[in-house]
Amino acid sequence: MYKEFYNLKENPFKLSPSLDYFFLSPRIKNMLKLLQYGLEQNVGFMMITGEIGVGKTSFLRYFLSHLDTNVERAYLFNPTFSRTEEILQLLLLDLKVIQEVTANETKVSLLEKLYEYLLRQHVEGKKVLFIVDDAQAASDFVLEELRLLSNFETNQEKLMQILLVGQPELKEKVESYALRQLGQRIAIKVEMSALDQEETEDYIQYRLLRAGAKTNFFKRQAIKLIYKKSKGLPRLINLISERALIAAYLRSQPQIGKKEVKIAIKDLNL
């Protein structure tokens, strides 16, 4: 609707994660280096936490897209299980060790298959990364089982790296007395925080330029208001900016000002 009016090739504030629009702030670069270091050093456990809308999914996709080809990875989206066998089967499925889930597999046999696979990867000079998303939803039982899985190791190093990703409640969980053994094993902890006002301006400008804009046509006062209402959360920045663009287009305004942002905020009930 507004792309032609603003000479944009696509929507700059789309909500779906896109590596083309991933904003590499200095803080993000440092976090990526930290995770890469943890992976290279075989630390065993790493953790990413952050509020809803802070960009964990985009961050994780960017991190995974830049891993070396010698890193095999498995992804667990929903860690709400009640049996260890379920975790192991999904892990082995994702790693293509097994082709289907069977009801008669025992925990011992599944652990044997996983251990043999990890040893093969180690001999071939490969690493194995197991990502557990929405880990704050996992029970203490599941988190403890993951800790036990990390016991697979040679005399020198861990055979599998586990990356927990979740909301701030995850940090509270692993710091609890019940999970103190797990908490002590997490060597790399990355906490994603919201953007500050300067980063918010850079973020908006970056996305506009990626979408084909020649300049940042969001006025400074508009950006300040976007930052104030979004609290620096990228998801809310996108929502407000998108609505402000529409409001400005409907009013044939070449620049997005404070008035358009106020209209967007009202439409979104923020």
Q: Please state the rounded mean pLDDT for residues 18-33.
A: 92
pLDDT value for 6: 86
The position carrying tokens 């011992």 is 108
Radius of gyration for the alpha carbons in the chain, expressed in angstroms and rounded: 22
Band the pLDDT of 137: cuts 50, 70, 90: very high
- Tokens in use for 263? 């209209």
Kindly tell me if the per-residue pLDDT of 82 is higher than 80: no
Q: Which residues pair with 49 in a beta bridge?
A: 166, 191
Above 90 in pLDDT, residue 3? Answer: no
Q: Residues 68-81: what's their mean pLDDT? A: 88
pLDDT of residue 270: 86
Q: Quick: pLDDT tens for 97-120.
A: 988 777 778 889 999 999 999 999
pLDDT of residue 168: 95
pLDDT of residue 156: 81
List, for residues 152-205, the tens digit of each pLDDT value: 888 788 899 999 999 999 999 999 999 999 999 999 999 999 999 999 999 999
Q: Whole-number mean pLDDT of the chain?
A: 91
Write the DSSP assignment of 193-208 as a string of letters.
----HHHHHHHHHHHH
Per-residue pLDDT reduced to its tens digit, 41-58: 999 899 999 999 999 989
Structure tokens at 81: 């299980």
Name residues whose C-beta falls within 8 Å of residue 219's C-beta, 6 or more positions apart in sequence.
255, 256, 257, 258
> By C-alpha distance, which of 139, 31, 38 is closest to 147?
139
Q: Is the full-model pTM beyond 0.85?
A: yes
Question: Which of 138, 115, 144 is CA-nearest to residue 128?
Answer: 115
